[in-house]
Amino acid sequence: MVPLKWAFEVDIEWSDNNLNKASIYSMKGKLCRVYSESPLKVERNGIEVSLTTIDENIIEFITEAGNTYTIYIE
């Protein structure tokens, strides 16, 4: 796990140099923004999370402290 600005911890799984999945643990319940050149899906406890598209390659979603969010490429 890598702490990002003390608000999130990120764990990334790779397969053949491609993202398999990323897990983001929210420590403070902040807004999370993610850059990706591929469309993404985000889930919390197996339920899809509502995303806001900021631009072509950036999405954001609201997190709750103590929860883990899993990101997959669609």
- Which CATH number does the domain housing residue 22 bear? 2.60.40.1180
| pLDDT tens per residue across span 37-72 | 999 999 999 999 999 999 999 999 999 999 999 999
Which single residue is written with the structure tokens 């406890």? 45
pTM over 0.85: yes
The whole domain housing 7 covers 2-73
Model pLDDT for residues 1-16, shown as the tens digit of each residue: 655 567 899 999 999 9
Per the structure, the count of domains in the chain is 1
Q: Note the pLDDT of residue 6.
A: 77
CB-side neighbour CA atoms (13 Å) of 46: 0
> What is the structure's pLDDT at 5?
63
pLDDT for 33 equals: 95
Q: For residue 17, what are its two tokens? A: 């140099």
